[in-house]
A and B are shown apart, each in its own frame.
Chain A
């Protein structure tokens, strides 16, 4: 793997780290499997890219993309909470609707940002760093800052209440926690993070595309699962940070598999590699426990 592609891999890994944190919030904290992210990743990118092309300030455009994605999360929560539509189904409906909405937002299947200013423009040439290093450092700081903020949030009274809602609704309610409010807030934060990732992706890669969000949920889940099978800790900071580590490792593994000539994979084999990696990450902790139990049994005799 060349240095250039290695840095590119890191960059994508950090951006999808934000997606992984969003997925962790819904799947693990709220126990609300949310597939909206396939649409909200693109929505964040589409809104941001369109606004930048229209000449809006890049920070405002990024914020708008993030908020639009957060609203998509609210729609899914509303369908589930107000009308009792199964969470999985509610999120699939929103995701499907978003495909059309993203096309409408952009007015065409993709928007190029090559000649436009981006959130990275002010940092170009800073400390004499080449752009490819600067981009990795920028997205790494964004991802790590996001992780610290989310971990802190989950340790506050409000965040703790959100964790209680995902763990035991009856207990939460008996302690005065308004369940619906926490689900709305959780889905908005989760999709907002995913939308922010989409906005960063569009600006670092120079385009937004209507199909860029396909498979986002699988990548996010893969990152969460890989991260959590490697680190078992009670600390919120470690848990949330492990989502980012998982995301970077996932990207490195995929890129190694695709670049290793002796295996003979091509880019179109990506989905199979993803599925195998996720399966391995799921199998590994179970096998590890079985080995430990076996070794302990052998030591007893």
Chain B
């Protein structure tokens, strides 16, 4: 479904502040696979997701969705295939608009906005039915401002919004990182439900090795813009967090100090 070939991304090219963010990513994700992506800060996880989504243009290499070359396609034209949930609960929704207006925007994702009223009783019923799945009582708050909802509620709605339009790919960028443990678990539950129900191809960036091993069917680790290991399901089954850390240390046989990364990744 997603295929990256020799993907390179360089920021501030030809300037003194030039940064090689991705240096040669080769990655093929078959349809329906759920991949978790880990790596230390600055490893290129978010850059990889943003490049696949089209927010960042590639310096070299190609991206395919199925047989279709999307390398040059702008982000907005990829939204017919891609749904996203961001780390910041405020980023995925508009605080100034109501819950139903936000959902209406997601309901029209990847289509041209027409000069017809955005809300009617038919779509309101769809939204109400979807919101009732969350058991947060939000189905009675369709006309509330999104800004009045808590971070967890907003993230839950973002997640529902990502599934309102049929899409094939779901990109989750540390979407539980800013939430308290209980809410994070709830969001993860709903994510798993939606993914299973819609048989989505998923990439989930996470800072938690535990979460990376517990979800999905494959784990890749990025370091300095490259994939340093790629564990498929049967390989992964016997792995614990400490094994991942060992693997990480081996892969980086250049002898750098690991202490900092242990702090970051051990949680």
Task: Give A contacts to B, CB under 8 Å.
Answer: 152-153, 155-161, 163-164, 166-168, 170-178, 234
Residue of B nearest to A180 (CB): B76
CB-defined interface of B93-137 with A at 8 Å, one 1/0 digit per residue?
Answer: 111111001001110111101111111000000000000000000
Instruction: Kindly state whether residue B55 has any CB partner on chain A within 8 Å.
Output: yes
Please state if A163 and B76 are interface contacts (CB–CB under 8 Å): no
Please state if A164 and B105 are interface contacts (CB–CB under 8 Å): yes
Residue of B nearest to A157 (CB): B113
Please state if B117 and A156 are interface contacts (CB–CB under 8 Å): yes
24 contacts between A and B (CB under 8 A): A152-B117, A156-B113, A157-B104, A157-B113, A158-B115, A160-B97, A160-B101, A161-B108, A163-B94, A164-B94, A164-B105, A168-B90, A170-B91, A172-B94, A172-B105, A173-B75, A174-B86, A175-B105, A175-B110, A176-B76, A176-B79, A176-B110, A177-B105, A177-B113
Inter-chain contacts of A158 with B (CB < 8 A): 113-115
CB < 8 Å: which of B77, B86, B105 contacts A161? B105
A178 with B76, Cβ < 8 A, contacts A164-B94, A167-B96, A234-B98 known: yes
The A contact surface, by secondary structure, is: helix
Instruction: Kindly state whether residue B39 has any CB partner on chain A within 8 Å.
Output: no
Please state if A156 and B96 are interface contacts (CB–CB under 8 Å): no
Please state if B118 and A155 are interface contacts (CB–CB under 8 Å): yes
Residue of B nearest to A179 (CB): B76
Q: Once the chains are docked, how many angstroms separate the CA of A161 from the CA of B86? A: 19
Inter-chain contacts of B84 with A (CB < 8 A): 174
Inter-chain contacts of B90 with A (CB < 8 A): 168
Please state if B113 and A168 are interface contacts (CB–CB under 8 Å): no
Please state if A173 and B115 are interface contacts (CB–CB under 8 Å): no
**Interface positions of B from 60 to 98, Cβ below 8 Å from A:** 75-77, 79-80, 84, 86, 90-98
Instruction: Kindly state whether residue B143 has any CB partner on chain A within 8 Å.
Output: yes
Q: Once the chains are docked, how many angstroms separate the CA of A35 from the CA of B119? A: 33
Q: Once the chains are docked, how many angstroms separate the CA of A177 from the CA of B106? A: 10
Q: Once the chains are docked, how many angstroms separate the CA of A170 from the CA of B101? A: 16
Please state if B114 and A157 are interface contacts (CB–CB under 8 Å): yes
Inter-chain contacts of B101 with A (CB < 8 A): 160, 163
Looking at the assembled complex, report how far the CB atom of A76 sits from the nearest CB atom of chain B, in whole angstroms.
23
Residue of B nearest to A174 (CB): B84
Inter-chain contacts of A160 with B (CB < 8 A): 97, 101, 104-105, 113, 118
Residue among A153, A156, A158, A168 with most chain B CB within 10 A: A168
Q: Once the chains are docked, how many angstroms separate the CA of A168 from the CA of B109? A: 15
Inter-chain contacts of B114 with A (CB < 8 A): 156-158
Looking at the assembled complex, report how far the CB atom of A14 sits from the nearest CB atom of chain B, in whole angstroms.
26
CB < 8 Å: which of A153, A168, A178 contacts B94? A168
Inter-chain contacts of B91 with A (CB < 8 A): 168, 170-171
Please state if A175 and B108 are interface contacts (CB–CB under 8 Å): yes
Inter-chain contacts of A155 with B (CB < 8 A): 117-119
Inter-chain contacts of A176 with B (CB < 8 A): 76-77, 79-80, 108-111
Looking at the assembled complex, report how far the CB atom of B74 sits from the nearest CB atom of chain A, in whole angstroms.
8
Given A157-B114, A176-B76, 6 extra CB contacts under 8 A: A158-B115, A160-B113, A164-B94, A175-B106, A176-B110, A177-B105
Inter-chain contacts of B94 with A (CB < 8 A): 163-164, 167-168, 171-172
Q: Once the chains are docked, how many angstroms separate the CA of A172 from the CA of B109? A: 9
A156 with B93, Cβ < 8 A, contacts A173-B55, A175-B106, A178-B76 known: no
CB-defined interface of B148-169 with A at 8 Å, one 1/0 digit per residue?
Answer: 0000000000000000000000
Residue of A nearest to B158 (CB): A171
Please state if B116 and A171 are interface contacts (CB–CB under 8 Å): no
Q: Once the chains are docked, how many angstroms separate the CA of A166 from the CA of B91? A: 13
Please state if A175 and B79 are interface contacts (CB–CB under 8 Å): yes
Inter-chain contacts of A171 with B (CB < 8 A): 91-94, 105
Q: Once the chains are docked, how many angstroms separate the CA of A172 from the CA of B91? A: 10
Inter-chain contacts of B95 with A (CB < 8 A): 167-168
Looking at the assembled complex, report how far the CB atom of A278 sits from the nearest CB atom of chain B, in whole angstroms.
23
Inter-chain contacts of A177 with B (CB < 8 A): 76, 105, 113
Q: Once the chains are docked, how many angstroms separate the CA of A171 from the CA of B84? A: 9
Please state if A157 and B108 are interface contacts (CB–CB under 8 Å): yes
Closest 9 CB pairs of A and B: A176-B79, A167-B94, A157-B113, A158-B113, A161-B113, A167-B96, A176-B110, A160-B118, A175-B109
Residue of B nearest to A168 (CB): B94
Residue of B nearest to A28 (CB): B96
Looking at the assembled complex, report how far the CB atom of A97 sits from the nearest CB atom of chain B, in whole angstroms.
31
Looking at the assembled complex, report how far the CB atom of A274 sits from the nearest CB atom of chain B, in whole angstroms.
28
Please state if A174 and B79 are interface contacts (CB–CB under 8 Å): yes
Q: Once the chains are docked, how many angstroms separate the CA of A167 from the CA of B98? A: 12
Inter-chain contacts of B96 with A (CB < 8 A): 163, 166-167
Q: Once the chains are docked, how many angstroms separate the CA of A161 from the CA of B113? A: 7
Inter-chain contacts of A157 with B (CB < 8 A): 104, 108, 113-118
Q: Once the chains are docked, how many angstroms separate the CA of A160 from the CA of B108? A: 11
Q: Once the chains are docked, how many angstroms separate the CA of A160 from the CA of B101? A: 7
A153 with B115, Cβ < 8 A, contacts A164-B97, A171-B93, A173-B76 known: yes
Q: Once the chains are docked, how many angstroms separate the CA of A170 from the CA of B143? A: 22
Residue of A nearest to B80 (CB): A176
Inter-chain contacts of B118 with A (CB < 8 A): 155-157, 159-160
